[in-house]
Structure 1
Amino acid sequence: MKLTVFGASGGTGQAFVRQALTAGHEVTAVVRAWSRLPLDHPALSVVVADVFDPSSLASALSGADAVVSALGPRGRKDTTRVCSTAIRSILTAMADADVRRIVAVSAQPVLRTGAGEPLWFRATVLPIVRAVFREVYVDLELMERALSASTAEWTVLRPPYLTDKPAVGYRTALEASVPGGSLSRADLAHAMLDVLNDPTTVRHALGVGRAR
């Protein structure tokens, strides 16, 4: 597949780009500056663009089979709402380029139903996390709403706290959280690759967590 990756210079984005290239995909990585992605591969193209300007994304999306967004908020107090603003721009550019498939990273606490979560976690830990990272989750909720309102073939992955540990395997839950405490970025990247070609995940949010 020909994949366009936003947030390619971040920890999750770089893990995804490496795995996608290893799997034989052609990758276009969208970054803010050339120096932000220290990777080199014959099947990798790097495009410097403004993710908030749909017109600047046209070349990055030309001929793409699917889009991956590994974008994340800049910090817990960031009120600029990077993810939701960027996803609207990306969706506009995708429509212009006739690209339909997108996989985006959100976060476990965005889930509001409590499905899959232990009662003690919902009653104690989750309210504190949502309060401390309120701006982060508002941004991600708005991102998910923008995807839901679009005509794109989207899938959202909601991981817990991410680490740089080696991959150990992952599991997913449809419209529910996966308990487990943390997940490696390598495992999240693997999950992102796997759902790209899974039609059963289209227009769904999946919890993703560490394998038992």
Structure 2
Amino acid sequence: MKIALIGATGNIGSRILKEALNRGHEVTAIVRNPSKLAYNSPKLKIVQGDIFDSDQISGVVKNSDVVISAFGPGMSDTDKLVKATKALINAIKASGKLRLIAVGGAGSLEVGDGMLLVETPEFPSEWKAIAEAHKEALALYEKEIGLDWTNISPSAMIEPGNRTGIFRISTNKLLIDKNGTSRISMEDFAVAILNEVENPNFRKTRFTVGY
């Protein structure tokens, strides 16, 4: 497939890029600074782009089968996430009937009795702003009736780790293992995203993965 990937130089985006190329897909990596992407492959095309420029992104992705956004602002720039989401939605709609898969956050996942993870007393205060931004971005996708979108949330803890290909899937419930931990490796998170690219099961909805 032809995949357009936004945020390919990030921690999660770089894993998505590797997973996609290893599966034989053609990837157009859209990055702000191409010099930061030290990755060579005959199936990789690197394009300098700005997610906030809807017209530019629309032109770059128009010949793709699916667009994956792993855009992640810094902790001090959380307001950029909602702005980027709005611009990306406009770009995808302008490009025709493209599929969009966007990396979301864990904070909006349910933990029981209608409570969200971000609303729990234990949720780290320093992560609340980005969690709320991801929650707002998800709400924007849910309003887009005509958009073919998927939002995938990680578990509460996502870190570099092993690629096992073995994990559980949920829709809106936070996944917790037998030890009371909610976690997923970045490598297996990338696996889940590419599985959804190849075999869509969650169109126009959100899902999450965890051990």
TM-score bracket for the superposition, by shorter chain length: 0.7 to 0.9
Deviation at 1:34, TM superposition (A): 1.1
Deviation at 1:55, TM superposition (A): 1.4
* Counterpart Cα distance in 1 of 2:47 and 2:4: 10
* Counterpart Cα distance in 2 of 1:185 and 1:110: 19
Q: Structure 1 regions of 5+ residues with no counterpart? A: none
Instruction: Choose the corresponding residue for 2:161, options 149, 165, 183.
Output: 165
Note if contact 1:72-1:83 (Cα within 8 Å) is conserved in structure 2. Answer: yes
- Classify 1:198/1:204 alpha carbon distance in 2 versus 1 (closer, same or farther; 3 Å): farther
Q: Could you tell me which residue of structure 1 aligns to residue 72 of structure 2? A: 72
- Residue identity matched to 2:8: A
User: Equivalent residue of 1:178, what SS?
Assistant: coil
Q: Could you tell me which residue of structure 1 aligns to residue 149 of structure 2? A: 154
Higher helix share: 1
Deviation at 1:10, TM superposition (A): 0.3
Q: Could you tell me which residue of structure 2 aligns to residue 39 of structure 1? A: 39
Note if contact 2:153-2:209 (Cα within 8 Å) is conserved in structure 1. Answer: yes
User: After the TM superposition, which parts of structure 1 deviate over 2 Å for at least 4 consecutive aligned residues?
Assistant: 113-117, 125-128, 197-200
Note if contact 1:65-1:99 (Cα within 8 Å) is conserved in structure 2. Answer: no
Give identity over the alignment, percent: 25
Q: Could you tell me which residue of structure 2 aligns to residue 207 of structure 1? A: 208
- Classify 1:203/1:116 alpha carbon distance in 2 versus 1 (closer, same or farther; 3 Å): farther
Instruction: Choose the corresponding residue for 2:108, options 93, 106, 110.
Output: 110
- Classify 1:181/1:199 alpha carbon distance in 2 versus 1 (closer, same or farther; 3 Å): closer
Deviation at 1:90, TM superposition (A): 1.3
- Residue identity matched to 1:100: L
Deviation at 1:16, TM superposition (A): 0.6
* Counterpart Cα distance in 1 of 2:16 and 2:117: 30
User: Equivalent residue of 2:64, what SS?
Assistant: coil
Deviation at 1:122, TM superposition (A): 6.0
TM-score when scaled to structure 2?
A: 0.87
